Amino acid sequence: MQYAIMTTLEAGDTLDHYRLDATVARSGMSTLFRATDLKNGMQVAIKVPHDEMEADPVLVERFKREQEIGQELDHPGVVKTYDGEDRSRIYMVIEWVQGRLLRTILNEEGRLPIDRAIRLTLGICDALDYMHKHGVVHRDLKPENIMVDEHDRIKLIDFGIAMKEDARRLTYVTMSPALGTPDYISPEQVKGQRGDQRSDIYALGVMLYEMLTGETPFSGSNPLAVMNERLLHDPRPARKLRPEISPELQEILNRALVGDPRHRYATASEMAWELEHQDQVGVEDGARRPALRGLRLPGGRKMLLYAGLALVPVVLFVVMLVLARR
Active site residues: 140
φ, ψ for residue 310, nearest 5 deg: -65, -30
Q: Rounded to an integer, what distance in angstroms lies between the CA atom of residue 209 and that of residue 117? A: 9
Number of CB atoms found within 10 A of residue 323's CB: 14
Give 322's strand partners.
none
Burial of 83 (0-12, 13-18, 19+ CB in 10 A): exposed
Q: Could you tell me the sign of the dihedral formed by the alpha carbons of 116, 119, 123, 129, in that order?
A: positive
Q: Which amino acid is at 176?
A: S
Contact yes or no for 45/121 (Cβ under 8 A):
no
Q: Rounded to an integer, what distance in angstroms lies between the CA atom of residue 305 and that of residue 285? A: 26
φ, ψ for residue 95, nearest 5 deg: -55, 135
How many Cα atoms are found within 13 Å in the side-chain-facing hemisphere of 236?
14
Q: Rounded to an integer, what distance in angstroms lies between the CA atom of residue 313 and that of residue 264? A: 22
Q: Rounded to an integer, what distance in angstroms lies between the CA atom of residue 270 and that of residue 232? A: 27
Contact yes or no for 46/67 (Cβ under 8 A):
no
R_g of the chain, CA atoms, integer Å = 21
Q: Which residues contact 164 (CB under 8 A, 6 or more apart)?
A: 65, 69, 135, 136, 137
Q: Rounded to an integer, what distance in angstroms lies between the CA atom of residue 197 and that of residue 203? A: 10
Contact yes or no for 289/234 (Cβ under 8 A):
yes
Nearest Cα neighbor of 147 from 83, 95, 219 is 95
